[in-house]
Amino acid sequence: MLQPAVNIMVKAARSGGNVLLRNMNKLDALNVVEKERMDYASEVDGLAEAAVIKELRRAYPEYAVLGEEGGALKGSRGPSRYTWVIDPLDGTSNYLRGFPHWCVSIALCEGPEPLHAVIFDPLRNELFTASRGSGAQLNGHRIRIGERKDLAGATITTGFAPRERARVAAQFDCVRQVLATAEDIRRTGSAALDLAYVAAGRTDGYFEAGVQVWDVAAGILLVREAGGRVSDFRGAALGPMHIAMQSRQVLAGNLKLADALQKTIEASGYAAAF
């Protein structure tokens, strides 16, 4: 049975997802802004975030909010122990091009750590949920991380964040070393779904730099609750998930594969680039 807060998060994610679905046939008419170089947002991002926040604040008005579009908002009673971390459209570039791979991501953090997570893919009607200490689920069925023991034959996902192009040479060296052993590297355009897919065993591992907390907070909990490990490129614990910080690095996989992936990233020199 889902926790009460997760039920509210699911309702909010579906509300945001409905906004995104309604606007899919209006892409040519959307107002698109370039927040940073090659980092885009549209008016539908803001509409979806407003729909998500409306549902969350209706149930928990005292909780703080950290959203990709709206920034940080205090709860109705000031600072809060709990923070909603929201990406109303993870995969904006995909969405704006009609590429069918994007989602709504919501995490509830207790202090710096994710407590509950929901990632919703409206196109596939796939709902990933997790609560700390209670495991991870996909559409109500328990999911577990894959069992591959090393990079041999592994499928790894990554991303090429616009804000990290200065380190692209080091990243390509890393990709080359990973591909020397792994079966494939894929770049899907949604960090949240990348992590959800690792949690579900659809891919074996994930690494990316330049991600923000709203991109990964929910997915990190999914991976942990599915039995996996999440760290930065040096194998260290990640920073707090309830505040915005620039240029985070994240890698994920089961315990053995994550270790192998982390050692490859370090050996390639990519970790030293940060």
- pLDDT tens for 18-62 read 999 998 877 666 665 555 444 445 788 889 999 999 999 999 999
Residue 80's pLDDT is what?
83
Phi/psi for 246 (5° steps) reads -80, 155
Beta bridge partners of 106: 86, 118
User: 232, 222, 216, 181: which is closest to 198 by C-alpha?
Assistant: 222
pLDDT band at residue 77 under the 50/70/90 scheme: low
Which has more confidence, 126 or 160? 126
3-state secondary structure of 82: strand
Sign of CA dihedral 184, 181, 262, 223: positive
Which stretches of 103-232 are assigned E, i.e. beta strand?
Answer: 103-110, 113-121, 126-131, 136-138, 141-143, 155-158, 184-186, 205-211, 229-231
Residue type, 110: E
Determine the Cα–Cα distance for residues 124 and 169; give it in Å rounded to an integer.
35
Q: Is the pLDDT of residue 124 over 90?
A: yes
3-state secondary structure of 146: coil
In the predicted model, what is the mean pLDDT of the chain? 91
Residue 248's pLDDT is what?
86
Residue 31's pLDDT is what?
60
Residue 44's pLDDT is what?
86
Model pLDDT for residues 156-208, shown as the tens digit of each residue = 999 998 777 888 999 999 999 999 999 999 999 999 999 999 999 999 999 99
Residue 161's pLDDT is what?
81
Which has more confidence, 248 or 268? 268
User: 96, 67, 100, 62: which is closest to 81 by C-alpha?
Assistant: 62
How crowded is residue 256: how many other Cβ atoms within 10 Å of its Cβ? 14
Q: How many distinct helices (H) and strands (E) make up the chain?
A: 7, 15
Which has more confidence, 78 or 200? 200
Q: How far, in whole angstroms, is CA 19 from its chain's centroid?
A: 20
CA-CA distances (angstroms) from residue 152 to 30, 127, 223, 266? 44, 30, 21, 18
- What residue spans in the chain does CATH classification 3.30.540.10 cover? 4-143
Q: Is the pLDDT of residue 99 over 70?
A: yes
Q: Is the pLDDT of residue 67 over 60?
A: yes
Query: Class of the 155-273 domain?
Result: alpha beta
Is residue 173 packed enough to be buried (19+ CB in 10 Å), middle (13-18) or exposed (0-12)? middle
Determine the Cα–Cα distance for residues 114 and 141; give it in Å rounded to an integer.
21
Q: Is the pLDDT of residue 270 over 50?
A: yes
From the candidate CATH numbers 3.10.20.600, 3.40.50.10490, 3.30.540.10, 3.20.20.80, the one assigned to the domain spanning 4-143: 3.30.540.10
Structure tokens at 247: 């240029």
| Contact present, 209 and 240 (Cβ < 8 Å) | no
Q: How far apart are the first and last CA of the chain?
A: 42
3-state secondary structure of 165: helix
Helix (H) or strand (E) holding 34: strand 32-36
pLDDT band at residue 69 under the 50/70/90 scheme: confident
Q: What is the gyration radius of the CA atoms in the chain, in angstroms?
A: 18
Residue 40's pLDDT is what?
46
Q: Is the pLDDT of residue 223 over 90?
A: yes
Hunting for tokens 């080091």 — which residue is that? 170
Determine the Cα–Cα distance for residues 53 and 65; give it in Å rounded to an integer.
8
- What residue spans in the chain does CATH classification 3.40.190.80 cover? 155-273
Percent of the chain topping pLDDT 70 = 89
